[in-house]
Amino acid sequence: MAIRNLLITLLLLFTSFSMALGHEVGNLGHYPVVVSTWPFVEAVRAAWRAIDSGFSAVDAVVEGCSACEELRCDGTVGPGGSPDENGETTLDALVMNGATMEVGAVAAMRYVKDGIKAARLVMQHTGHTLLVGEQASAFAISMGLPGPTNLSSSESVQKWSKWKENRCQPNFWKNIVPVDSCGPYHPKDIAELGRGTCSSANLMAAVESRSSHIGLHNHDTISMAVIDKEGHIAVGTSTNGATYKIPGRVGDGPIAGSSSYADDEVGACGATGDGDIMMRFLPCYQVVESMRLGMEPKLAAQDAIKRIARKFPDFVGAVFAINKNGLHAGACHGWTFQYSVRSPEMEDVEVFTVFP
C-alpha cells in the first residue's frame, strides 16, 4: 500500500512538472503536429489536412498560411487589410525548411496576393533568401503566380480614409514636425534633438510609447510551425504588416529568426506582435537556441519575451515554442495571447491561452 501511494505521489508530481513546462503532444516523437499563432483554426485545419495526407512540412505550412491569406485572417493577413500611409496594402511572408535551413521570403510585395507561395518560390528557384518590393512582385508573376492585382479592399480604403480624416493619427513618425497633421514631415532641429540626451533616462524618455497603435487587429501575423510524419520541421509567416505604416516599411514577418525559425535538430518558434521592436532581438532564433541548450519550450519562450520587455516595457508581443518531440508552450507581454494546435490525438484544433 505504501509503495502504491508513493507511486501515485510521484506520478502527480511528474504531471505537475510537465504542466509547468508546457503541453506535450502524446508520446515523444508522435507526429505530425501543427501549431499557429492565434485562433486561426481554419488555417491550422488546412495545414493538418495537407500533412495528414503525406505532404512535407514545408508544403503543409504553405497550405495553412495560404488559407489564412485567402480568409484574410483578422484583416491582418493577405490582401485587403492594413493600409499604409498611402492607402496601399503590401505583403510580407517567409517560409523556412528546418531540415536544410533554406529560407525564402518576400517583403513589401505589391500587386501579388499569394505571399507565402511567393516566398516558397524564392526558396525553391533562387539562391537568395529575400526579395522586396516591385521586384519581388515581378519575380512572383514571372514564376506563375496571378497578378498584377490591386491588394486593397473597400474595407481597407474606408479605414484609410477615416485615418486621413483624423489628421493621420496615430502614425509611426517621431522627432518630426508638424506633429498633428498628415505631413509632409521634416526633422526637428538637430540641436533640439541633441539637448539633454546624454543620460539613459533621457534616452528612454525619447522612446515614444507605441501601445496606442499596436494591437491585435492592426499589427498581427500568422506564424505557423509544422512537424511532418518524418519528423521534419518547417515554419512560415504571412502578414500585411502594421496598419498605417510608412510606405516601404518591412517588419519582422520576412526576417528569419524574428517572426519564425526552425531546426530539425531542436524545434521551432513563431512570433507575433510589434515587429519593429521584436526584430531587434530575433526572439525565435533565441527560443530555438535556448532549447538547443536544454531549456524547455515554456522557459525558452518566457526568456525570449523577457529579454525584449527589459528594454521596451511597453512592447506588445508573443511567441510560441515547440521542440522536436512536440512539447509546446507560449509566452506574451502586453496582451493575452492564444495559439492553436492540432496533433494526432486531438479530434480537432485546440486553442491554448497564455496570459502576460
The confidence score (pLDDT) of residue 73 equals: 86
For residue 59, the number of C-alpha atoms closer than 13 Å in the C-beta half-sphere is 10
Please answer whether residues 77 and 70 qualify as being in contact, where contact means their C-beta atoms are separated by less than 8 angstroms: no
Instruction: Report how far Cα 288 is from the mean position of its chain's Cα atoms.
Output: 15
Over range 330-350, report the average pLDDT.
97
Over range 77-104, report the average pLDDT.
94
If we measure between CA atoms, which residue out of 322, 354, 348 comes closest to residue 28?
Answer: 322
The dihedral built from the CA positions of residue 159, 165, 170 and 172, taken in this order, carries a sign that is positive
Mean pLDDT, the chain, integer: 88
Q: Answer yes or no: is 272 a known binding residue.
A: yes
Going by the DSSP 8-state scheme, the letter that residue 118 receives in this structure is: H
pLDDT at 15 over 80: no
**Catalytic residue among 37, 90, 221, 243, which?**
221
Q: Answer yes or no: is 45 a known binding residue.
A: no
Beta strands 130-132 and 102-109: pairing type?
A: parallel
**Angle (CA) 288 115 59, round 5°:** 60
What is the rounded CA–CA span in Å between residue 32 and residue 30?
7
Peptide bond into 187 cis (omega under 30): no
Q: Answer yes or no: is 126 a known binding residue.
A: no
Task: Tell me if residue 221 is catalytic.
Answer: yes
**Cell numbers at residue 253, please?**
514577418
Q: Answer yes or no: is 334 a known binding residue.
A: no
The confidence score (pLDDT) of residue 14 equals: 39
The confidence score (pLDDT) of residue 150 equals: 93
Over range 245-249, report the average pLDDT.
96
> What does the pLDDT look like over 146-189, one tens digit per residue?
999 999 998 999 999 999 999 999 999 999 999 889 999 999 87
What is the rounded CA–CA span in Å between residue 247 and residue 292?
38
Q: Answer yes or no: is 231 a known binding residue.
A: no
